[in-house]
Structure 1
Amino acid sequence: MNRIDPPAPIAALLVAAGRGLRAGTGEPKQYRLIDGRPVLAQALAPFLAEPAIGTIAVVIGEGDEDRYANAIAGLDPARLAQPTLGGATRQASVRRGLLALAREGFDGIVLVHDAARPFVSPAQIGAAIRTLGPSGLAAIPALPVTDTIKRTDENGHIAETPARDRLVSVQTPQAFRFGPLLAAHEAAERALLHGFTDDAALMEWAGHPIATFEGDAGNVKLTHPEDFLRAGSRHGKVLVTRVGTGYDVHAFGAGDHVWLGGVRIGHDHGVLAHSDGDVGLHALTDALLGALAEGDIGTHFPPSDPQWRGAASAQFLAFAASRVRERGGRIDHLDLTIVCEAPKVGPHREAIRAEIAAIAGIGVERVAIKATTSERMGFTGRREGLAALATATIRLPEEE
């Protein structure tokens, strides 16, 4: 990238306060790992590398202080301002970040960037600053729309087909003159208008002209689980299918219920176990950890540790599922077989499927539950206990 000769002081404001619900369960998407690095750290890197940017600030979600500290470990702390806590919407979060910059006396050019875009290039940062120039008020990256776009009415019927040659999709970083952007945010706040999804729309509402420059198709925003899979397949990586298996068994003991697949089922016995003794969730946890080659349930939750006494096994499966996502992977299918003479699993099959799907953060259509007996042979046949066998199929990005 050519050297930037800034016309005014420059600050970068990265918005990292969202929860990323469309990305599936687990860590907020800006803290998940791609190629072993948090998304936020990758988004920050090109801004930290640009010497023309004097201030780099991040807006984070309430309760994310430790996540943020872990994500920026290894980055230059001298270049980063103290993080600001965001609001309930992106618009509210940006406003809070701008107010924090104003309290520090900042006035110049601000680059607003979504932390969920970790592949922003130095060239895009330079283009934003140069396009804004010494007198511009707003400059945003834009890409031509290749799909036909239609507008629908309140009934879902097509109301209009806008001409495609005048449509663009926009990205970040978006460059603004600081004073007018903050004034637009404050005006929208006074007017109780909170539905702006990017700062360019807010500046447009305030009546300011907005310049565009050529966007970058590689500067994708991570939104859905599949986006992380595609991101993990960049730079010479391919998605590889892995299969893991798990097995667990527990003897019956005194009690009036057992836990199977996260569902409490009444029974004339309980089970002897350190945790809640859910053989189904234990087997599934081991299957996922096996597919990851990350040990077994005892490695991460040793029975010798008193904190796991009586623990709900849902947290074990949730941990294993989150490890798949943190490594940029996807759970394709979970298959569980429960072996016992009693209790009967059939009446609870759909409840178990739904519970496992919710814990693992996948669709219920990816969960299979089967039950069988051992024809009165062995310890299960003698009604001394129950067992479970599980298979997990996942995809992980790996080097070619």
Structure 2
Amino acid sequence: MESVKSMSVAALIVAAGRGTRAGTGIPKQYRRLLGRSVLARTLEAFLVHPDVSYVVTVVHPDDGDLYGSAVAEIADPGERLLSPVGGGETRQASVFQGLKALERSRPDIVLIHDAARPFVDADLIDRSIRAAKQFEAAVPGIAVTDTIKTIGSDHTVVSTPERATLRAVQTPQAFRFEALLNAHRAADAAGLTTFTDDGAIAEWAGLSVHVFDGDARNIKLTHNADFAAAERRLNEDPMSYVTRLGTGFDVHAFQDGDHVWLGGIRVPHDQGVLAHSDGDVILHALTDAILGALADGDIGTHFPPSDPRWSGASSDQFLAHAVGLVRQRDGMVDHLDATLLCERPRLGPYREAMRERIAEIAGLRLDQVSLKATTTEKLGFTGRSEGLAAQAAATIRLPEIVHDR
């Protein structure tokens, strides 16, 4: 049997709805939970999963700016996050649009997931992929604990289904790509437009749909009260968030050149720096500060200078990697602060562009990035204009399990 690792897996995130039941304001997938948008949380769950090859999001045509802001919160979406696809009038139409957009790459497996389910975790994604590999069409379901009644038009009970045979279906729903695409094409050709989930389309098309174990924590945010409950859940999780502080320092000597990289910005200068990568001391110091807060080595541990892959590499990927490690541990970066130490070049003309670039790389707001500069009063190697240096601090929050004492 073909291994999961040898099969390509695409995640299709459905984010084109208006979410009117969640109250007024922006669509629910762009609302924030503890400072991060619902969509950013959902996308990141799939982007960090090692078996997901790429992710495509179906969005409403009017939500381009909202989508862009949500993606900006993700430390390093990378090439696995494909360009968004415009949705249709219904959920069914939106999924069909997404499937057609995936035709060029033709993944082996496609996972269809609601953007408004931000609590999906790696274990559930694992089960989804395994189920699609084995059963061609599969949906996660959880046992129904309430008694369910079927009622008639006059609201009287018609029947009481056996509770043991019922399941409440969730996403991600998992399919062999070709099978689901063909099912959607058949439904479209038949003029059927009211399917509310892809398991129902697969069932209508004659596929045998397997139900695997879902996750009761994988809730869908539908009503305004769901957001309040989600906030409480994040705050009252059996983990407590603790604040950690890390510091970083980097230095590079000048050599012949016509520019230096600082804070992700190319700054014209009458010298360059001697470095294995692009020598951006600000981004290097910030990266080490975050890794220090994580107690996870330093930049040389993750990107050794002996590895030719990092020769001349752009340092933005180092910072994005460090921020991604924080988020993989369900943490968050609160603040980044860096100080450039040199006689020249002057930071002032480029400060705001650097702050904006650092915020973009790290998926932070501009007010979470501080950047300063100072000279060393002509003292030392920086005072003699032999090189430049930077020191940085990073404040992060990480969850730690609270043990009973």
Instruction: Give the TM bin, normalised by the shorter chain.
Output: 0.5 to 0.7
What residue number does 1:107 align with? 107
2:131 corresponds to:
131
Identical amino acids, percent of aligned pairs: 49
Map Cα deviations across residues 201-233 of structure 1 (whole Å, 9 max, x no partner). 100001111112111110000000000000000
User: What does 1:42-121 align with in structure 2 at a 5 Å threshold?
Assistant: 42-75=41-74, 76-102=77-103, 104-121=104-121
What code does the residue aligned with 2:83 have? Q
The answer to whether the aligner puts 1:11 opposite 2:17 as a matched pair is: no
Distance 1:52 1:116 in 2: 22
SS at match of 1:11: strand
Structure 1 residue 181: Cα displacement: 0.3
Amino acid at match of 1:225: N
For residues 316-366 of structure 1, give each alpha carbon's deviation from its aligned partner in whole angstroms, at most 9, with x where no partner exists. xxxxxxxxxxxxxxxxxxxxxxxxxxxxxxxxxxxxxxxxxxxxxxxxxxx
- For residue 94 of structure 2, give the secondary structure of its aligned residue in structure 1: helix
RMSD: 1.6
Q: For residue 5 of structure 1, report the CA deviation from its aligned partner.
A: 3.4
Supply the AA of the counterpart residue of 1:162. P
Query: What CA distance in whole angstroms lies between the structure 2 residues aligned with 1:165 and 1:195?
Result: 27
Q: Conserved in 2, the CA contact under 8 Å of 1:13 and 1:97?
A: yes
Question: Which residue of structure 1 aligns with residue 195 of structure 2?
Answer: 196
- Answering whether residue 237 of structure 2 is matched by residue 234 of structure 1, we say no
Give, in whole Å, the separation in 2 of the partners of 1:198 and 1:51: 26
Aligned residue type for 2:114:
D
State the secondary structure of the residue aligned to 1:72: helix
Partner of 1:352: none
Q: In 2 relative to 1, CA 74–235 (structure 1 residues): closer, same or farther, beyond 3 Å? A: closer
Q: Give the Cα–Cα distance (whole angstroms) in 2 for the partners of residues 107 and 77 of structure 1.
A: 18
Q: In the alignment, what sits opposite 1:150?
A: 149
Deviation of 1:236 (Å)? 3.0
* Contact 1:110–1:178 under 8 Å retained in 2: yes
Pairs within 5 Å for 1:154-303: 154-237=153-236
Answer whether contact 1:141 1:170 (CA < 8 A) is retained: yes
Q: CA deviation at 1:7?
A: 4.7
2:4 touches 2:129 (CA, 8 Å); kept in 1? no
Unaligned ranges ≥5, structure 2: 238-405
Q: Secondary structure at the match of 2:125?
A: helix
Mapped contact 1:6–1:129 kept (Cα < 8 A)? no
**Unpaired stretches in structure 1, ≥5 consecutive residues:** 239-400
For 1:117, the aligned partner's letter is: R
Q: Distance in 1 between matches of 2:153 and 2:191?
A: 24
Matched position secondary structure for 1:142: strand
Deviation sequence 1:21-45 (CA, Å, 0-9, x none): 1101111000000010000000111
Count of residues in Structure 1 that have an aligned counterpart in Structure 2: 234
Structure 1 length normalisation: TM-score? 0.57
What's the CA shift for 1:152?
A: 1.2
SS at match of 1:235: helix
- How many Å apart are 1:237 and its aligned residue? 4.3
